[in-house]
Amino acid sequence: MKVRAYAKVNLALDVVKKRDDGYHELEMIMAPITLHDLIYINRIEKGIEIKTNSFKIPTDERNIMYKVAKILIERYHIPYGVKIQVYKHIPTQAGLAGGSADGAAVLRAMNQMFNLNLSLEQLAEIGKEVGADIPFCIYEQMALVKGIGEKLEFIKSDWFCHLLLVKPKKGVSTKKSFSMLNLKTAQHPDILKMKQGIELSHDHMIVESLGNTLEAPSMKMVKDIEIIKQEMLDLGFDGALMSGSGSCVFGMTQDENILKKGYQYFKNKYPFVRTTKILRKEEEKY
């Protein structure tokens, strides 16, 4: 079986507070994008085998795909194993949820392969045990996301834009980015204004509402984030923002000429440069 694992960007990310359990309370506007990993998954007699074209990700029990496959096999007494071949296109330590997207894709695929008949809600609950972004990646719909990533409120909208993704060589550790955060002095974007802007397809309101509380601490670790962001704005992109905890930066535009100009400008400067767009599920089927 072949499945696509779609990446995401955070159009707005607010770290609201630190919780008693050590996690941080978040409010985010997350959007799936057309950039994806390609996963082939097949039934085998027993065990979990993972192969990948990337040397950067583990293929043992540390891998998110391994973890979710193990849960399903054990919990639902599946009498077989799975062989997973993943072709990575989503970079690691980028803030694009590449690992979570892969985990969600494996959950959906195994649900179908083994006729488990689990609902998306049930798959999201299982995914939450492994990674905070997996519930969002299960649904692949634009959403207002709260808590640590488990509370989803879907946003209905026809809004669309082109995106240019640029990631510097150096990634960002999510844990380190959070540890460097000063909530008193941090930027707190207007999440509800962003939601309203998307619902109204109001480009100006959306651009005005772009913001990411984690951007400042991540910029201290990777200076290129700030440089890329400014260069995108200088090239004429409507807005630019770091996604998640970084280090990938996206530029937004409705103008394909600006998108092409940006791609040509960045393509030989940084190791990862891709054009993509907001995912519309009716357009992108497996």
pLDDT given at position 284: 53
Q: Is 198:157 a contact under the CB 8 Å cutoff?
A: yes
DSSP structure string for 99-153? HHHHHHHHHHHHHHHTT----HHHHHHHHHTT-TTHHHHHHTS-EEEEETTTEEE
Question: 107 or 184: which carries more pLDDT confidence?
Answer: 107
Q: Are 114 and 76 in contact (CB under 8 A)?
A: yes
What is the set of domains in the chain, with CATH numbers? 2-154 (3.30.230.10), 165-277 (3.30.70.890)
Task: Give the H or E element holding residue 256.
Answer: helix 256-266
pLDDT, tens digit, for every residue of 207-226? 999 999 999 999 999 999 99
Query: For position 20, what pLDDT does the model report?
Result: 77
The average pLDDT across 98-124 equals 98
- What is the DSSP code string of 38-76? EEEEEEESSSEEEEES-TTS--STTSHHHHHHHHHHHHT
Active site residue 146: no
pTM: 0.94
Active-site residue, from 8, 88, 195, 229: 8
Percent of the chain residues topping a pLDDT of 90: 86
**Average pLDDT along the chain:** 94
Active-site residue flag, 46: no
Q: What is the pLDDT of residues 121-176, one digit of tens each?
A: 999 999 999 999 999 999 999 999 999 888 999 999 999 999 999 999 999 888 88
Q: What is the mean pLDDT of residues 103-122?
A: 98
Which of 133, 167, 224, 229 is labelled catalytic? 133
83: amino acid identity, one letter: K
Please state the φ and ψ torsions of residue 129, each to the nearest 5 degrees: -65, -25
pLDDT tens figures, 76-86: 999 999 999 99
